[in-house]
Amino acid sequence: MFRRLTASDHDRVVAYLAKRPALHTFLTGDIERYGYDAPFQEVYGHLSNGHVTAVLLRFYGSYIFSTEGPDGVEEVVRLLQSNTAWTLIQGDSVSLSLLQDIGGFEPRQVREFAFAERPVRAPRIPVDTSGVFQATVDHVGQLWQLRKSIAEFANSSTTELSLRQSFESGDTLCFYIPGERGEMAASASVVAENQWTAMVVGVCTRPLYRGHGYATRCVAKLCDVFDERGKTLCLYYDNPNAGGIYRRLGFAVISGWTQFFR
């Protein structure tokens, strides 16, 4: 049975999410922070013999999907086709491939990434993190200008307002290195922190400052923080050069990550 989930289903949802905590970072983080009744978030699931076997989460105009198999796939496709107020659905590559193979879903655009995790205190190269600072809500304008200078962020759904709200709610932890003229030279952030994991996002360096290892230092600082918190860091990427940096910091690829655009 596929239906909208409520707080009364939470224990069953957690049991499902705990099976693959890294790949479920966004799902777990959003559910822990916003629950089942927020106006901008809806949680759906497929239940079989009293157990959750698939989860679909709507967060504003995007979806995240995870399933153990064909359960719920056709229902999810029907929901996507009946709701036109969304732009993106993402999840592990196996789950999303089922939307095409079983549900017949035809996305307008597809992006494929490698998904990696870094277990607590995974071995990594030594990195000097001096000169790396934690950003506050007062730095949102500078961070926004940095991201606007990066071509890879051109299609991001993040706005300056949503970035500010993420800082104000405590959902974003960001470290940065300042440039020579007071601007941000590089930064890396974490979102969706939950009881098990957190997601590294927004790793970027202003073109003028590339080649100095600034982004590596920012990510290394995040590694230090989450080693102390005892939590696994996760990220996804499609840049082989970035992949080399992440491997040296202790990240290992565990899956693919796919985005479908409507």
pLDDT in tens, 96-137: 999 999 999 999 999 999 999 999 999 999 999 999 999 999
pLDDT in tens, 224-257: 999 999 999 999 999 998 999 999 999 999 999 9
For the chain, where do the domains classified as CATH 3.40.630.30 start and end? 2-106, 133-255
229 is written with which tokens? 């918190």
Task: Name the pTM for this structure.
Answer: 0.94
Which H or E run includes 25?
helix 25-34
Q: Rounded to 10 degrees, what is the CA torsion of 240, 244, 246, 247?
A: 130
- What is the predicted pLDDT for the residue at 149? 86
Q: Where are the beta strands (DSSP E) in the chain?
A: 2-4, 41-48, 51-59, 62-67, 88-92, 109-118, 133-134, 173-178, 184-191, 197-205, 232-237, 252-261
> Which residues of the chain register pLDDT less than 50?
none
Asked if CATH classification 3.40.630.30 holds for the domain at 133-255, the reply, yes or no, is yes
- What is the predicted pLDDT for the residue at 155? 64
CATH of domain 2-106: 3.40.630.30
Phi and psi angles of residue 251, each rounded to the nearest 5 degrees, phi first: -80, 145
The whole-angstrom separation of Cα 52 and Cα 45 is 6
